[in-house]
Structure 1
Amino acid sequence: MQRMKTFHKKKILVVFLICFSVLSFLIGRLGFLMLTQSEYYSEKAEQLHERERDIKAARGKIIDACGNVLAANKTVCTISVIHSQIKEPEKIIQILAKELEIPEEDVRKRVEKVSSIERVKTNVEKEVGDRIREYDLAGVKVDEDFKRYYPYGSLASKVLGFTGSDNQGIVGLEVKYDEVLQGEPGKILTLTDARGVELPDAGESRQEPVNGKNLHISLDANIQKYVEQAAYRVMQQKQADSVSIILMRPYNGEILAMVNVPEFDLNDPFTLNTDTSGMSAEEKQDALNRMWRNGCINDTYEPGSTFKIITAAAGLEEGVVSLKDRFSCPGFKIVEDRRIRCHKVGGHGAEDFVQGTMNSCNPVFIEVGLRLGIDNYYHYFEKFGLKGKTGVDLPGEAATIMHKKENMGQVELATVSFGQSFQITPMQLITTASSIINGGRRITPHFGVEVRDDEGTLYEKLQYPLGDQIVSEGTSETMRYILEQVVDGGSGKNAFLEGYHIGGKTATSETLPRSANKYISSFLGFAPASNPQVIGLCVINNPQGLYYGGIIAAPVIQDIYKNILPYLGVENDAPESTEEETEANNG
């Protein structure tokens, strides 16, 4: 009996010790939380009674070289409902459906959804938001917001790009410089009771948004407008599929204009600029992607004879050709077992290297390519930066599509030498040509110049240092001279402009498959020839009728230069006539 009592006492003692230990732990834990974690849990408790609404930051502007705002912000509203505060759901459904012009069923789903806050519609015009606010509907919130707005509509659409409903960049400069432009959103905090109803006397606290910075770019809206008009004009005249034009400063890579027509409306970027009848949803999305593509950087093509600039520069730099070297063109050149034709069926006959360039003679450039050889040609291809990308500050740049060195034979070398059997982007072509004529230094094409705030404070000056010396000053000077002769009396004579010395090169290339008989006409020209201040490239895709680059593309650049060279302050560099010359001309 005594033994049983002792046993029960031990059990009671064990239970007591366990309970005491647990209680001591809980008291200690409670003390720890109260003394050291009180602020943390106090914040947590407050958060349970706080409702949070975002305030979008104003996105930074995109400003052109003349101070014109190309991308701005428009005040809009976001309409939301708070389920726990709604008192007249049917009235709210009717009013919101009417004012927002959306089906009652869609509004009802949001009004009846049990959630802390439910967005009904974003990007609502401010006038509509103000009208809804005047109804003073319990449970309906109208918050002011920002929507991207493009004052010039479709101007430079494939360069600027646009933003989505979340105000983040989707394509173009908007996405490339998103971190600079987007800013930091703010918040509106309101207190609620245990049921989630806002306390009327508690007010609200605001964490103000930080607006994005402004991006200043090299593009000039005045030049862009004129170039776009010229592109539309030739596209309509030649019933072409598309036209792309780039204008750039060859000495530092600043892009003055980049046109890809047809363009699209930046304020309505999801509406196709073509007929959509009969298209499936997938086909429409594919069509949108094509509409948004920037052909100057996203697409590659066979450059044709404009690429002879690269072959000529490599040949001169390596010393395998000189200006006085003599050639004979019977209208073709046989390489291994292939008979490769010149564009002039009867041939050009005897000619020196300058005349061969003026005539855009394929056999001359095939000979230069063969003299260079595969190893040397690849060496210069890489040295000129053609194996990589230009680094232009736009997303989605395509790379050159070129034969692998081990797969390149004499025939491939011959065709590459005059710009066929490989593909390049217009941006890569004009960048490489710029680097050849500017004294020989590789440049990085770009739009971004500097970042400032609304007060004009400079935050960052964007840097694009000159790259490697790809050809000597002497070769660069010789190339400028040769290309001036092309315009002065050769295949590029339709780009000749009275009072200015212009250099350039024409091209006409056939697209794949060759049986389709579709062509790309192009012209690359720069001015003044002795000290280039601007370089332009016009690419016309699938023109109808006459399709030679010298006939339809060269006049486009000539017309553009006639109007923009004086605008840029490029002086007429033709020598003034002496009194004797004037009398002789009159006589």
Structure 2
Amino acid sequence: MKNKTYNKRKVLIVFVCASAILLALIGRLAYLMIFDAEYYQKKAESLHERERDIKAARGEIVDRNKTVLATNKTVCTISVIHNQIEDPELIIQTLAKELELDEAAVRKRVEKVSSIERIKTNVEKEIGDRIRNYNLAGVKVDEDFKRYYPHNELASKVLGFTGGDNQGIIGLEVKYEDYLKGINGTILTTTDARGVELEGVAEDRMEPVAGQSLQISLDYNIQSFCEQAALKSMEEKQADAVSILLMNPQNGEILAMVNVPEFNLNEPYILNTGTDADTLTDEQLQDQLNQMWRNGCINDTYEPGSTFKIITTSAALEEGVVKLDDTFSCPGYRVVEDRKIRCHKVGGHGSETFVQGIQNSCNPVFIDIGLRLGADRFYDYFDQFGLFGLTNVDLPGEAGTIMHKKEDIGLVELATMSFGQSFQITPIQMATTVSSLINGGKRITPHLGMAVLDKEGNVVEELKYKEKDGIVSEETSATMRMLLEGVISEGTGKNAYIEGYSIGGKTATSQTLPRSANKYISSFIGFAPADNPQVLGMIAIHNPQGVYYGGTIAAPVMRNIFDNVLPYLGIEKSETVSDEEQQ
């Protein structure tokens, strides 16, 4: 009786446990069928659907006159679907031959068990069409887009380029990525349990949305001419590099930005130095590519030298520590504390007014007015003029000003700062600040982007940029225009003079660090017309061989540019009366 009772209990326990498990399973099944039905339905559908991307056409980049600078080229993506392959050997041989790939590499991808395996992207359309015509089971040829730059090297470090995924990497391509990229589409095909696409079942397509186009202030003709002038200058002076910047000082629109040597945007991973990439390590190659892609106008800093005297003069006039008829004496040097700081004219300029000191680019004169300003006020004007911040130009990687801390500025540092040494700024910062000092005192934002366009070329959005008034007074700005016109007509900038045009400007010759290397940067900043500036130009020649003075080699290049660009922009020469007519 005890055994019988015991066995009944065991049966009951087993029955209860089995019932509990069964009820749990029923409950779980009900939960999955009712509450998680949508989730598992999607999972089931995904097993019978294959998705392929359709790349969106990237928006174009056009210049101010709508000349196309960056567009798209139709290419193909070649893929294989493992479950649909009928003759793998034929596919391997055909693709290796047509795509010029190693047969072993193609075999590895063809034999890989996956829903879809990409063999090669960015294949020329002609080749893609040939592969499609073979009608190879399991081979898919999808049309795609590749970025194409019709002018190859033009403005390469400004425009930038895209990667294999059609996303921007440098320049405007990455800065305006959100406007340009568009939205990719998809192709959905239905398959059976083996992954083979079902015949007679229509593809489900979601069409891509093309990106919007970007209109920039760059002018193709001006950019082309400036690049030619820069290349000629680089070759003649056997220089390391030449940078040229042209902009409208009234609103900050950049008309040209040149950094030679440029590189081919359609082959951005081929070094422009002629170096064999196979001789370099991966790290060395990447370093050289990064250097090749650098935009010197915004990414690199330099000691501005005498062009900075424009800023020192503006600060001194604004502060009232100097008048135009103040007189100075230049014996060829100035002693500051224990340092003998020389003028570029060894014998000195003798007695001269402040106006003559600017025309002569006399260092002792600027040391004197720098010391009159004092470190605190000079530092304040740096801040007021915007030199401590970024210009916020619409290009990535802008470098900031490298400056002494205020507490570290002694008399010697103050003296050298007054004529543009012992600190560093970027060319774009220099050009922007000078623009603000000659345009009436309005701090502008240098920029390239003007408008976002739709595919028909209609303006979708006009791009706006910040401006700040009151950098200097109108009176100081007018005085600076007059003084800098005198530098061209009577001073060190005579080589930039063009008959019939009033041009203002300043030359500079600065030595790079370390000083022992004896390398120089010859530069010039000029603007025209002097009384109402519409164009400001800056040129920097890096490490020229032979004569390296800015007034001798940089000013003539800008004169040549102005001589061609000013009439092109509709800026006419003023009427002049010849000596014969006067008689």
Shorter-chain TM range is: over 0.9
Cross-structure match for 2:116: 117
Report which stretch shifted further, 458-467 or 17-26. 17-26
The amino acid of 1:513's aligned partner reads P
Matched with 1:270 is 269
Could you tell me whether the CA contact under 8 Å between 1:486 and 1:505 is conserved in 2? yes
- Indicate the SS of the match to 1:433: helix
Matched residues in 1 for 2:512 and 2:382: separation? 22
- In the alignment, which residue of structure 2 is the partner of 1:291? 292
Q: Which residue of 2 aligns with 1:162?
A: 161
1:545 CA displacement: 1.2
* Cα deviation code 1:428-465 (max 9, x no counterpart): 10010001111111111110111111023433221102
Give, in whole Å, the separation in 2 of the partners of 1:406 and 1:492: 36
Deviations 1:301-324 (A, max 9, x none): 111000001100000111111111
Deviation at 1:205, TM superposition (A): 1.3
One-letter code aligned to 1:354: V
Q: Secondary structure at the match of 1:233?
A: helix
* Equivalent position SS for 2:311: helix
How far, CA to CA, are the matches of 1:88 and 1:28 in structure 2?
49
> Quick one: distance in 1 between partners of 2:209 and 2:25?
46
- Mapping of residues 79-478 of structure 1, within 5 Å: 79-277=78-276, 279-281=279-281, 282-478=283-479
Amino acid at match of 2:41: S
Amino acid at match of 1:232: L
CA contact (8 A) 1:353 1:364 kept: yes
Q: Report the Cα distance in structure 1 between the residues aligned to 2:581 and 2:425, rounded to whole angstroms.
A: 51
Q: Once the two structures are superposed, what CA deviation does each residue of 1:302-359 show, in whole Å capped at 9, x if it has no partner?
A: 1100000110000011111111111111100111111100000011111111110000
Shift of 1:583: 3.6
Tell me, in whole angstroms, the C-alpha distance in 1 between the residues paired with 2:462 and 2:581: 54
For residues 26 and 571 of structure 2, what CA distance do their matches in structure 1 show? Answer: 86
Amino acid at match of 1:577: V
Residue of structure 1 equivalent to 2:532: 531
**1:37 Cα deviation after fit:** 3.5
Task: Tell me, yes or no, if structure 1 residue 497 matches structure 2 residue 498.
Answer: yes
Deviation at 1:290, TM superposition (A): 1.0
Kindly report the root-mean-square deviation, in angstroms, between the aligned alpha carbons of the 2 structures.
Answer: 1.5
C-alpha distance in structure 2 between counterparts of 1:44 and 1:576, whole Å: 83
Q: Partner letter of residue 274 of structure 2?
A: D
Give the Å deviation of 1:202.
2.1
Deviations 1:239-294 (A, max 9, x none): 11110000001011110000001111111111111121484223222221111111
**Structure 1: runs of 5 or more not aligned:** none
SS of the aligned residue for 1:376 comes to helix
> Does the CA contact (< 8 Å) of 2:500 and 2:576 recur in 1?
no
CA deviations on 1:476-519 (whole Å, 9 max, x unpaired) are 11111100100111000111111111000000011112122111
Tell me, what secondary structure is at the counterpart of 1:554?
helix
How much has 1:422 moved relative to structure 2? Answer: 1.1
Q: Secondary structure at the match of 2:101?
A: coil
Q: Is the 8 A contact 1:163 1:169 kept in 2?
A: yes
Q: After TM superposition, give the deviation of residue 468 of structure 1 in Å.
A: 4.4
* In structure 2, C-alpha distance between the alignment counterparts of 1:359 and 1:6, rounded to whole Å: 122
SS in 2 for 1:556: helix
CA distance in 1, matches of 2:127, 2:32: 50
**Are the aligned partners of 1:276 and 1:284 in contact in 2 as well (CA < 8 Å)?**
no
Q: Which moved more, 1:28-37 or 1:548-557?
A: 28-37
8 Å Cα contact 2:48/2:190 also seen in 1:
yes
* Structure 1: distance between partners of 2:168 and 2:426: 24
Aligned equivalents of 1:437, 1:500: Cα separation in 2? 17
SS of 2:352 mapped into structure 1: strand
More divergent stretch after superposition (155-164 vs 453-462): 453-462
> Could you tell me how far apart the structure 1 residues matched to 2:29 and 2:273 are?
70
Unpaired segments ≥5 residues, structure 2? none
Q: Distance in 2 between matches of 1:13 and 1:492?
A: 110
Contact 1:507/1:548 (CA < 8 Å) preserved in 2?
yes
1:553 alignment partner in structure 2: 554
Tell me, in whole angstroms, the C-alpha distance in 2 between the residues paired with 1:67 and 1:338. 56
Question: Is the partner of 2:297 in helix, strand or coil?
Answer: helix
Asked if structure 1 preserves the Cα contact closer than 8 Å seen for 2:162 and 2:168, the reply is yes
SS of aligned partner of 2:392: coil
2:113 counterpart letter in structure 1? V
Supply the distance in 2 between the matched residues of 1:132 and 1:429 (Cα, whole angstroms).
55
The amino acid that maps onto 1:241 is D
- Conserved? CA contact 1:86–1:138, under 8 Å: yes
Could you say what secondary structure the match of 1:553 adopts?
helix
TM-score (norm 2): 0.97
- In structure 2, give the amino acid aligned to 1:486: V
The whole-number CA distance in structure 2 between the counterparts of 1:15 and 1:379 is: 90
The offset of 1:404, in angstroms, is 1.3
Question: Displacement of 1:6 after TM fit?
Answer: 4.7
User: What is the number of residues matched between the two proteins?
Assistant: 581
CA distance in 1, matches of 2:6, 2:218: 95
Identity of aligned residues (%): 69
Question: CA 1:86–1:6 in 2, change beyond 3 Å: closer, same or farther?
Answer: same
Q: Aligned equivalents of 1:576 and 1:330: distance in 2?
A: 39
Distance 1:517 1:533 in 2: 36
Range with greater deviation from structure 2 (465-474 or 432-441): 465-474
After superposition, give the CA deviation of every residue in 1:168-218 in whole Å (9 maximum; x if it has no partner): 111111111111111111111111111212222223211111111111110
Task: Verify the 8 A CA contact 2:259 2:295 in the aligned structure 1.
Answer: yes
**2: distance between equivalents of 1:321 and 1:5?**
121
Normalising by the residue count of structure 1, what TM-score does the alignment of the two structures yield? 0.96
Shifted more, 378-387 versus 451-460: the winner is: 451-460
Return the letter of the residue paired with 2:232.
R
Is 1:76 the equivalent of 2:72? no
The alpha-carbon deviation at position 558 of structure 1 amounts to 0.8
Q: Residues 57-113 of structure 1: CA distance to partner in whole angstroms, max 9, x if unpaired?
A: 111111110101100000000001111111111111111111111111111111111
Q: Please say which of residues 342-351 and 11-20 is displaced more in the overlay.
A: 11-20
In 2, are the aligned partners of 1:303 and 1:509 still within 8 Å (CA)? yes
- Distance in 1 between the 2:464 and 2:25 partners? 62
Does residue 29 (structure 1) correspond to residue 28 (structure 2)? The answer is yes
Which amino acid in structure 2 is aligned with residue 207 of structure 1?
A: M
The answer on whether the counterparts of 2:307 and 2:525 sit within 8 Å (CA) in structure 1 is yes
SS of match in other structure, 2:443: coil
Verify the 8 A CA contact 1:78 1:121 in the aligned structure 2: yes
Deviations 1:356-408 (A, max 9, x none): 00000000111111000010011011111111211111111111111111111
Structure 1 counterpart of 2:47: 48
